[in-house]
Amino acid sequence: MTSIRTIHTDSAPKAIGPYSQAVVHGGLVYCSGQVALSPTTGEVEGADVASQADLVLRNLGCVLEAAGSALDHALKCTIYLVDMADFQAVNEVYARHMGNHRPARATVAVRGLPKGVLVEIDCVAAVRA
């Protein structure tokens, strides 16, 4: 059986519940959802959805890096939005971070997110060979 490795990095916010930032198994990284929390203070940062999405994707990139992966190895992302009217703004930030890489993706509207943030993103990615 392939081992399961939990990931923790101080470069991204610590988990705010009983879960890991990510788990690596079978060559894949399963990342928990990231929200717009400062890695240093644990406080919400970003007054609008675009600035929050930027921090979310930077945090997600740090978790992936700690796991031996990167955003350009993402296979599937899920974006959770409190307001679907924010879809385009988040799309622009997401495209900037992903460059030419286009993982599979779903975007869903939710009633609320932890700490009152506007966006959360999780992903599954391949570990670098």
Instruction: Give the pLDDT confidence of 73-97 residue by residue, as tens digits.
Output: 999 999 999 999 999 999 999 999 9
Hey, what are 77's tokens? 């992302």
| Residue 74 · residue 123 · CB < 8 Å | yes
Hey, what are 115's tokens? 């700490």
- φ, ψ of residue 125 to 5 degrees: the values are -135, 160
Instruction: Give the pLDDT confidence of 7-24 residue by residue, as tens digits.
Output: 999 999 999 899 999 999
- pLDDT given for residue 1 in this prediction: 56
| Dihedral sign, Cα of residue 31, residue 48, residue 95, residue 119 | positive
Superfamily classification of domain 5-126:
RutC-like (3.30.1330.40)
Domain residue spans of the chain: 5-126
Q: Over 80: is that where the pLDDT of 5 sits?
A: yes
Task: Compute the half-sphere exposure of residue 40: CA atoms within 13 Å on the CB side of its CA.
Answer: 1
Angle of helix 87-98 versus helix 49-66 axis, rounded to 10: 40
How big is the chain by its Cα radius of gyration, in Å? 14
